[in-house]
């Protein structure tokens, strides 16, 4: 009896398509990793700038307090700095929300069709 060889032309075509699928999945994985890493790097630069602005804020307060001549003047300088810090905290919250939305969008956009949450 003649048996069909698993190493025949049909098996070669199946292996080739399997390798192609694996290559495509690997490339897609690398792309999403690259996109997410770029988003993290951008967020990192923004947060570093934010930390520097906070250092500047408190340094300016220290300089103002060093030159004040009365308690009401010192309290006013402190109140101004705290109000500015509260504004910065509100901006921090918005920035963090925006960054999380961007990163999640990149991840969700990379999911294959049919996955829950995929955009296509």
What is residue 119's predicted lDDT score, i.e. its pLDDT?
A: 52
Q: Is the dihedral of CA 53, 58, 61, 67 positive or negative?
A: negative
What is residue 40's predicted lDDT score, i.e. its pLDDT?
A: 87
What is residue 114's predicted lDDT score, i.e. its pLDDT?
A: 59
Q: How far apart are CA 53 and CA 92, in angstroms?
A: 12
Percent residues over pLDDT 90 in the chain: 46
What is residue 113's predicted lDDT score, i.e. its pLDDT?
A: 66
The stretches in the chain having pLDDT less than 50 are 1-2, 5, 120
Domain range annotation of the chain: 32-110
The phi, psi pair for 118, rounded to 5°, reads: -75, 145
Q: How far apart are CA 41 and CA 44, in angstroms?
A: 5
| Whether this model's pTM surpasses 0.75 | no
Token pair 């690398």 is found at 30
For 107, how many CA atoms within 13 A lie in the half-sphere containing its CB?
12
């Amino acid at each position: 009896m003649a048996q069909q060889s698993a190493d025949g032309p049909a098996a070669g075509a199946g292996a080739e398509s399997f390798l192609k699928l694996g290559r495509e999945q690997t490339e897609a994985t690398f792309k999403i990793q690259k996109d997410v890493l770029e988003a993290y790097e951008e967020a990192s630069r923004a947060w570093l700038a934010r930390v520097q602005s906070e250092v500047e804020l408190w340094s300016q307060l220290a300089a103002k307090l060093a030159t004040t001549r009365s308690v009401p003047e010192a309290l006013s300088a402190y109140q101004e700095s705290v109000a500015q810090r509260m504004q910065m905290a509100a901006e921090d919250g918005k920035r963090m929300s925006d960054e999380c939305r961007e990163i999640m969008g990149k991840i969700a956009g990379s999911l294959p069709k049919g996955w829950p949450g995929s955009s296509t």
